[in-house]
Amino acid sequence: MKKITKLSTLLFLVVTCVCSIPSADAQVSSLPHLSKEGAATQLIVDGRPFLILGGELHNSSSSSLEYMQVIWPRLAAMHVNVALTPVSWELIEPQEGKFDFALVDGLIQQARRNDLHIVFLWFGSWKNGVSTYVPAWVKTDYARFPRARDEAGRPLEILSTFSAASRDADAHAFAALMRHIREVDGQNHTVLMMQVENEVGVLGESRDRSPVANEAFAKPVPPELMQYLQKHKDTLIPEFRKVWEDAGGKTSGTWEQVFGPGKPKGLAVPVRTLSPPMTPEEHETGWRSLHWPADEIFMAWQYSRYINQVTQAGKAEYNIPMYVNAWLQQRDHAWPGTYPSGGPLPQVMDVWHAGAPALDMLSPDLYVQEFDELCARYMRSSNALFIPESAGDARGAANVFAAFGQYAAVGYSPFGIENPSTAAPDGPMAKAYEFLSQLSPLILAHQQKGTIAGVALDKDHPAKKIQIGDYTLNVSFARSWGTTPAPDYAAAIIMATSDGEYLIAGKGVSVSFSCDRPECLATGLASVEEGAFVGGLWVPGRRLNGDEIMSGSGLRLPGENYTVQKVKLYQYR
Ligand code: DGJ
């Protein structure tokens, strides 16, 4: 009997002891991480979903703590909650193996003092294609750290992806950085995510043409990539799958046999792809297809493999979300080499997923006019949308509503956030962020439920139809009253709160409602209330009717300030 009691006491102690040691899983899940929460993938920080109202600093700002001193309060005042902050290889490892993290520590402390978070941008082997941020001991030792070459054999100022020495040196430095961040920030979580490198890819050539690269290009496509493509055949990105199928859908062969021809010999990559010599039609549409596909796909594989190792080395030290960003193919930059060839572009997302499974997201630097189209392309293959660079003017302030509402973005971040015009406290971005920061909990909850939509309107897209809940919403520019000039942009986030009830938050839009199902009757507005969310609670303001609801035909959100309206619909015959 005594024995049994002793045994049970022992068991109790063991169980209690085991239970009180946080499991590896619990430790990992307490770090910032991405998680599929209902209908959306969200960033979870300290157990709660977090919406990044970001801003990316100019490239050189964070190299000086003194320079940054005045910038942090400016960001906080404009309701930015995360600063995308460069940290460069040359500054943390000025001598091989000798690390200096004083700047990193200072940036983290400054951010904390201003109640801001950081996403660090690792300017390692590449920044905008080129390798200007590598330390001088890497730059000058070109025998050990070889450059990519053009067709004439000239070196480009781009570290070749074919160098294990470069990859390992980068991975070593990145791992040291992540170890340090874990040591100084593992409990506080000021640092939320890492961008690995910046806008990688070969510029000025369609691919690396160094001898070792040419040799690899003439060899068969690696079986790992071929197997991935066969396994995911039915869900491949359509434009990528088309290239493969047009080349015969082969399951083995050299890069050109499997994916079609690379750039013809002797043809120089132009700086820009202009019309003429492109026809206006080619110029307008050619930026949406792969050109010289074997070259771009080959480079995408190379960059993804290299960066996967850098990412893995960092995550082994401190496992927070990591992503790569892309300089996009676009009008005037349609062929690989006029944009960085091999970067994480939408047409080669499958190659990146196959080559770099350690990465959490592939992210567009989204400056082009086709905002919705690119968001949608980056949401394919279960990729969560994060926009690390974008416009910070009135257009950006409208697009952020589409990003969070329509595309359940994890975050949005204008580039050059500290610019006096972007950071102006009464500027469009500050106003939009002030409004969105009040709505963040609601936006995050509706992203999870999939009951949210968002629109940004401009002169080219003056009206959009949104299907949400049981109704179709027609969102268009609101007619302005009196002498107020019509704005160039308007935006709204729409949340379906229950049957026939919506919260519409934004500026400068009119919204009318229709129910298109055969059983529907005519739709009317039962009630419309203006209000605000204070501390997460709805505080009603005016009851809207008459002119303010266009005599019952729809809502009108004024163009001067952001407002929220709550509408209840009804049906009649
Ligand atoms: C994109 C780059 O990623 C940024 O670092 C910066 O150079 C901007 N372009 C400048 O427009």
Q: Over its length of 573 residues, how does the chain's per-residue pLDDT go in tens digits?
A: 333 333 333 333 333 333 334 444 555 569 999 999 999 999 999 999 999 999 999 999 999 999 999 999 999 999 999 999 999 999 999 999 999 999 999 999 999 999 999 999 999 999 999 999 999 999 999 999 999 999 999 999 999 999 999 999 999 999 999 999 999 999 999 999 999 999 999 999 999 999 999 999 999 999 999 999 999 999 999 999 999 999 999 999 999 999 999 999 999 999 999 999 899 999 999 999 999 999 999 999 999 999 999 999 999 999 999 999 999 999 999 999 999 999 999 999 999 999 999 999 999 999 999 999 999 999 999 999 999 999 999 999 999 999 999 999 999 999 999 999 999 999 999 999 999 999 999 999 999 999 999 999 999 999 999 999 999 999 999 977 665 667 899 999 999 999 999 999 999 999 999 999 999 999 999 999 999 999 889 999 999 999 999 999 999 999 999 999 999 999 999
Q: Which two tokens stand for residue 413?
A: 């971040």
Nearest atom (ligand 1) to Cα of 198: 3
CA dist list (Å): 385 to 142, 380, 381: 37, 9, 11
Q: Is 415 in the pocket of ligand 1 (CB under 6 A)?
A: yes
Q: In this structure, which CATH number among 2.60.40.10, 3.40.190.10, 3.20.20.80, 3.30.1300.10 belongs to the domain 50-449?
A: 3.20.20.80
Q: Is 62 in the pocket of ligand 1 (CB under 6 A)?
A: no
Say how far apart CA 407 and CA 404 lie, in whole Å.
6
- What is the DSSP-derived secondary structure letter of residue 334? -
Residue written as token pair 């303010």: 548
CA dist list (Å): 374 to 192, 347, 357, 386: 25, 11, 22, 12
CB 33: neighbour CB atoms within 10 A?
Answer: 17
CA 329 – ligand 1 centroid, Å: 14
Q: Is 59 in the pocket of ligand 1 (CB under 6 A)?
A: yes
| Long-range contacts from 14-20, C-beta under 8 angstroms, 24+ separation | none
Give the pLDDT of residue 261: 98
Q: Which CATH class is domain 456-572?
A: mainly beta
Q: Is 128 in the pocket of ligand 1 (CB under 6 A)?
A: yes
Give the pLDDT of residue 487: 86
Q: What angle do CA 245, 365, 163 make, to 5 degrees?
A: 70
Residue in 486, 468, 485 with CA at minimum distance from that of residue 477? 486
Q: Is 198 in the pocket of ligand 1 (CB under 6 A)?
A: yes
Residue bearing the CA closest to ligand 1, atom 10:
415
Q: Is 389 in the pocket of ligand 1 (CB under 6 A)?
A: yes
Q: Are strands 386-387 and 411-412 parallel, antiparallel or unpaired?
A: parallel
Q: Is 365 in the pocket of ligand 1 (CB under 6 A)?
A: yes
CA 212 – ligand 1 centroid, Å: 30
CA 375 remoteness from chain centre = 9
Give the pLDDT of residue 520: 95
CB 235: neighbour CB atoms within 10 A?
Answer: 12
H/E segment holding residue 560: none
Nearest atom (ligand 1) to Cα of 415: 8
Instruction: Name residues whose C-beta falls within 8 Å of residue 475's C-beta, 6 or more positions apart in sequence.
Output: 455, 457, 463, 464, 465, 466, 492, 494, 509, 510, 511
Nearest atom (ligand 1) to Cα of 59: 5
Residue bearing the CA closest to ligand 1, atom 11:
415
Give the pLDDT of residue 535: 85
Say how far apart CA 526 and CA 262 lie, in whole Å.
62
CA 93 – ligand 1 centroid, Å: 23
Length of the chain measured in residues: 573
CA 56 – ligand 1 centroid, Å: 9
User: What is the three-state SS of 385-441?
Assistant: CEECEECCCHHHHHHHHHHHHHCCCCEECCECCCCHHHHCCCCHHHHHHHHHHHHHH
Q: Are 160 and 202 in contact (CB under 8 A)?
A: no
Say how far apart CA 146 and CA 164 lie, in whole Å.
10
Question: What residues are paired with 496 via a beta bridge?
Answer: 502
CA dist list (Å): 247 to 58, 240, 243, 265: 43, 11, 6, 19
Residue bearing the CA closest to ligand 1, atom 8:
415
Q: Where are the domains of the chain?
A: 50-449, 456-572
| Cis before 277 (ω within 30) | yes
Q: Which two tokens stand for residue 148?
A: 């990519």
> Edge-to-edge strand order for the sheet containing 522-534?
452-457, 490-498, 501-507, 563-572, 522-534, 537-543
pTM for the structure as a whole: 0.94
Q: Which two tokens stand for residue 33?
A: 């991480």
Q: Are strands 411-412 and 52-56 parallel, antiparallel or unpaired?
A: parallel
Q: Is 197 in the pocket of ligand 1 (CB under 6 A)?
A: no
Say how far apart CA 313 and CA 177 lie, in whole Å.
10
